[in-house]
Structure 1
């Protein structure tokens, strides 16, 4: 394990010379804010030694050069909405905040692209596109608070990934600062390119370990004028989860397919002060269909209703804003029950998601913790929110370890992986080492060493130095 130098007065002075005294924070109460992210995992939290807020790419570059000169680690941070400890400064050092870099630089309607800085809120990008009759299809559930730089770093998924893909599929090009401080521009506003390595896609999704993305040119698409959201209610978990592959095979091309188990239905409904159909015993599938033709929408809705009925839906109703409010409040609602929890982000082939949910829900019943399950079911990504309830710390850690050992082995046996959208971060680091093919892991480490020879940028995330 690499050892880093502490942040000294000399380092502080060098940082102030770059960004100004106002944007270098060392007060204890400020530093305490940045010891954690949205993950409810206090055992991973670390307090940084300094927080720095650059205003532009050149200042980010100079900060990285300082970090290399003094051998001090840097943790880039967007809005801190990570639930995998991705923004936790594992080795203390410098936390580099991107929030001042919050400008939409260009929105080109004819070219259907938008160039933005990394600190722009995702919802502001979505709204700017909507105003021009366009769609930015990246849509993580935290879009009202997360920043686009964090979305790019983790390759965030979200509600529209079934139809449009994840964040990496919404990007033409990026500007990034490498761990050494060098500034690079990668990718281009092209429909296709076979010119050298695809380096922009290498940095996207690398969780800030290979570079700090400072700008991005994002793809926009025409905004479909016709849309309908449907809530399919099931009182049988097996039937609810079996719906997904049948929807895909029916050729409905849904924009999103979201699943909520009854634990989430009840907790999120209570938190939102709403009561929806079959609150007591229902599992929910929320399906969104979008088209450019009204007749096509009518045809697809008829087919969707038929598939839902065939799968044994108890009720099929229009999903209004109340339904989406309940869905958005799922994770937040569980904090009423426990302040200590962990969120699993498993992903399996879409054809396996029904079996996976049923198997792991059944397995979870052998433990004392409480499990809530939701899924971006249309793309095989399921989330287990596991809550520590009436357990000692020792039992919590022991049982969680046992459950993960069985769950991860099972998921990899289905051809799945540890994370579909949240990333590895610090929380899943040891499991990445355990479950990744050694040759693949060695290739990742070779790339990291080549790009970041001092292992300065976001150390302790994704892969370990050894």
Structure 2
């Protein structure tokens, strides 16, 4: 395991010389804010020694050079909406904030791309694209608050991934500060390229362990003029989950297929102060269809309704803004039940998601914690929000470990993986070591050592140094 030096007065002075005294914080109140992300997992929280806010790529570069000189770890932080402890400073040191770098640099309507800094809110990118009848297809559920740099670092998924892909599929190029402070641009505004290694895609999704993304050129797509959202309500969990493969096989090409179990339906409805159909006993599938032709939309909606009814839907109705408000509030709604929780981010082949949800829901009933199930069902990504309720800390840790031992092995046997969109972070580090093929893991560590020999950048995430 690598060792690090503490942040000294000399380091703090060097940082102030780079960004200005105003943007370097060492007071206890500020440091306490940045010990955690949105994860409700206090056992993983770590307090930084200094928080620095960079205003330019050059400042990020100089900060990394200082960190290497003094052998102090750096944890890049976007908006802190991660639920995998990805922005938690595992070895204390420096937390590097990107939120000052919040400018949209270019919007090319004809070329259908946008150049942005890492600290731009995802919702602002989406809104600017919409103003010109274009769309940025990256759509994580935290779009109102998350920053594009964090989306890139984690390869965020979201509601539209089933049709448009994850964040990595929305990018032409990125500007990156490497762990040693060198700056480079990877990728290009091209439709295709076979010139050397695809290094931009290596950095995207590496959770800030291989480089700090400071700018990106994002792809935009035409905004479909015709769209309809449908809420299919089921009172049988197995029927609700069995719908998904049938929708994909039918060639409907949905933009979104979201699943909510009844625990989430009730908690998020209460939190949103709304009542939707079958509040007491319903599971929800929310399906979005978008087209460029009204007749095509009508045709697809007829097929969709027929498939839902054939699968045993109790109701098939148009989903308005109330439905999406409930969906967006799912995670937040569970916080009133417990201040300690963990969010699983399992991903399996789409054809296996119905079996996976049913099997793991049944397995969870053997334990004392409370489980809520949510899924980006159209791309096989399911989330279990597991709440610590009326349990001792020791019982919570023991039962969680036992459940994960069953769940993770089952998911890998199905051909799945630990994370579909949230990333490994610090929270899943040990499980990454346990379930990843040793050859694959060794290759990742070899790459990390090559670009970051001092193991300075976001250590303790994705892979361990030992």
SS in 1 for 2:189: coil
Q: 1:99 aligns to what?
A: 99
SS in 2 for 1:142: coil
Displacement after TM superposition at 1:2 (Å): 1.4
Q: 1:330 aligns to what?
A: 330
Cα deviation code 1:266-287 (max 9, x no counterpart) = 0000111111000000000000
Matched, 1:288 2:282: no
CA distance in 2, matches of 1:394, 1:28: 30
SS in 1 for 2:382: strand
Cα deviation code 1:179-205 (max 9, x no counterpart) = 000001000000000000000000000
- After TM superposition, the score normalised by the length of structure 2 is 1.00
Q: 2:206 aligns to what?
A: 206
Give unpaired runs (5+ residues) of structure 1.
none
Query: How do 1:235-254 and structure 2 match up within 5 A?
Result: 235-254=235-254
Cα deviation code 1:381-409 (max 9, x no counterpart) = 00000000000000000000000000000
The alignment's C-alpha RMSD in Å is 0.3
Q: 1:226 aligns to what?
A: 226
Query: How do 1:37-56 and structure 2 match up within 5 A?
Result: 37-56=37-56
CA distance in 2, matches of 1:451, 1:313: 52
Cα deviation code 1:102-127 (max 9, x no counterpart) = 00000000000000000000000000
CA distance in 2, matches of 1:85, 1:235: 35
Displacement after TM superposition at 1:437 (Å): 0.1
Query: How do 1:395-414 and structure 2 match up within 5 A?
Result: 395-414=395-414
Displacement after TM superposition at 1:295 (Å): 0.5
Q: 2:195 aligns to what?
A: 195
Q: How many residues align?
A: 466
CA distance in 2, matches of 1:436, 1:360: 21
Q: 2:257 aligns to what?
A: 257
Cα deviation code 1:53-106 (max 9, x no counterpart) = 111000000000000000000000000000000000000000000000000000
CA distance in 2, matches of 1:440, 1:54: 34
CA distance in 1, matches of 2:231, 2:336: 26
CA distance in 2, matches of 1:277, 1:15: 55
Q: 2:449 aligns to what?
A: 449
Cα deviation code 1:430-451 (max 9, x no counterpart) = 0000000000000000000000
SS in 1 for 2:3: coil
Matched, 1:7 2:7: yes
Displacement after TM superposition at 1:332 (Å): 0.4
Matched, 1:307 2:315: no
Displacement after TM superposition at 1:458 (Å): 0.1
Cα deviation code 1:320-362 (max 9, x no counterpart) = 0000000000000000100000000000000000000000000
CA distance in 2, matches of 1:54, 1:382: 35
Q: 1:461 aligns to what?
A: 461
SS in 2 for 1:342: strand
- After TM superposition, the score normalised by the length of structure 1 is 1.00
Displacement after TM superposition at 1:3 (Å): 1.3
